[in-house]
Amino acid sequence: MRIPKLSALNNKHVLALIGNVVISAFSVITMSVLLRTMTKADVGVWFFFLSINGLCDALRNGFLSTGTIKFYAGTPKERAEIVLGSVWFLALGVSLTLMALDACAMPFMSLIKNPEVLLVIKWFGVTVLSSVTFNITFWILVADEDYLTILWLRLVNNVSMIVIILILAYLKKATLENLLIVNFATNILTSVACIVFGYSHVETIFKRTRECMVQLAQFGKYSLATNLSSNLLGSVNTFIIIPVLGPTALAVYAVPNKLMEIVEILLRTFVGTGMSAMATAYNTDNMHHLTFVTKKYAGMLTLLFIPLVIGAFFFADFAIWLLSGDQYKGTEAANIFRIFMCMAILYPVDRFNGVTLDIIHKPQINFYKVIIMVVVNVLATSIGLYLFRNIYGAAFAAPFATIAGLLFGYYHLKRNLDGYSLRSVMTTGYAESKLFINQMLAKFGRAKA
């Protein structure tokens, strides 16, 4: 019996999944090292910085990432170069603007006493600028469905970071300042690799056109608001917990959030592979196929989440211990993880509702959806913290925000896509899951023969 060849895995869904699993594994290992070597307070501050930096990064990604895929995927070479050149010019403009705003705040650092705010002012500008090349390259490769190259570049970024962090932990030098330096340096390393190996297409910046930049900006103003709001939705509890309960409570809340990477792996994989297919279908005016892709991915992922939710409910305590060690044993982290995972069953339909609204040129509706979720989340979190006086209050908000967004997005998508319904999502997902499993079994069967 022969070992299955790599070609047996040459499926974009499998490659994307493998890539996300590998990278998330490195991320979890990194987090596990930090949780074991840093105090809860320092871990809380680190997550606060990541949340702020994520918001700033969302300005650029939200403005251009979806637009890049939408206007670039499936287009002729000449048009593709115009789109990429315009994307490069706009992305650099956004990044340099963020860096300039950061520089304007630096003269006032002596007046600020909050260490979390000082850390953000010192590092967020250069950190956002250091990742611009890698981000643009990633958007291009997603549109091209080149998931092997994505995996390679992300390995360059993540492996270099975890190796340095392990060395710092061994030397007992894993401080916040050193972590920020490592993060900046690994971003630069990855960006250089993107340019040297020709994946970034930075040379197309000279082929930009004003018309294309305006088109990207017009679309981007809605996707920007949506992405920024989505990022805020994911981090708003961080900003509420820090002043109310402090960084130690935030660290406990961050542990189950990190474990939700299990869910994000699958969401990112399916959204990444599905978005380019939907964009190509829309650009070729094939709305029937676009609707099919939306139902297929949302349905398959919902079915896949059912056993994950059941397993997470019973093994939550072990998962928390495995990630963070004894320091977080007996805290609220395990129960919060159970709450998050129970709500995860709704995430696939909600996520694909939003992505599809963007693809069919209805980003304003997706924006309204996310705004509703943010408002509901803030209100529910505030009420929850007032009632419970602990981080269970923050977890209390999750069901309300998710259900509100799902219902709003579903209502509008059903009005814009013929044949779209929750029932058709599940039936299509079931049929496609059976087909996918049979195809994979057949490939491995041929490889073993």
Per-residue pLDDT of 173-206, as tens digits, reads: 888 888 889 989 999 999 999 999 999 999 999 9
How much is the pLDDT for 205?
93
Answer yes or no: are the C-beta atoms of 65 and 227 closer than 8 Å: yes
Answer yes or no: are the C-beta atoms of 364 and 229 closer than 8 Å: no
Backbone φ/ψ region at 444: left (φ over 0), alpha (ψ -120 to 50), beta: alpha
How much is the pLDDT for 250?
83
Answer yes or no: are the C-beta atoms of 388 and 336 closer than 8 Å: no
Q: Which amino acid would we find at residue 263?
A: V
Percent of the chain past pLDDT 90, that is, above it, reads 24
Cα 290 to Cα 177, 249, 275, 285, 416, distances in angstroms: 46, 43, 10, 9, 12
Q: Which amino acid would we find at residue 367?
A: F
Residue 61: pLDDT over 80:
yes
Nearest residue to 351 (alpha-carbon basis) of 418, 302, 417, 292: 302
Report the alpha-carbon distance of residue 246 to residue 41 in Å, rounded: 8
In this structure, of 104-108, 324-328, 406-410, 444-448, the range with the lowest mean pLDDT score is 444-448
How much is the pLDDT for 430?
92
Mean pLDDT over each residue of the chain, to the nearest integer: 84
Report the alpha-carbon distance of residue 131 to residue 202 in Å, rounded: 14
The residue extents of the domains of the chain are: 8-448
Q: What is the mean pLDDT of residues 3-29?
A: 64
- Provide the pLDDT confidence category of residue 12 given band limits of 50, 70 and 90: low
Answer yes or no: are the C-beta atoms of 237 and 253 closer than 8 Å: yes
Q: Which amino acid would we find at residue 275?
A: M
How much is the pLDDT for 6?
41
- Provide the pLDDT confidence category of residue 2 given band limits of 50, 70 and 90: very low
pTM confidence score: 0.67
Answer yes or no: are the C-beta atoms of 190 and 204 closer than 8 Å: no
Answer yes or no: are the C-beta atoms of 225 and 366 closer than 8 Å: no
Residue 46: pLDDT over 90:
no
Residue-wise burial string across 171-180, b where 16 or more C-beta atoms lie within 10 A, e elsewhere? eeebebeebb
Q: How many CB atoms lie within 10 A of CB 387?
A: 11
List of residues 6+ apart from 110 with CB closer than 8 A: none
CB hemisphere CA count around 442 (13 angstroms): 6
How much is the pLDDT for 280?
84
Q: What is the mean pLDDT of residues 209-225?
A: 85
DSSP SS3 for 332: coil
Answer yes or no: are the C-beta atoms of 326 and 36 closer than 8 Å: no
How much is the pLDDT for 449?
56
Q: What is the mean pLDDT of residues 108-124?
A: 78
Tokens linked to 17: 């999944």
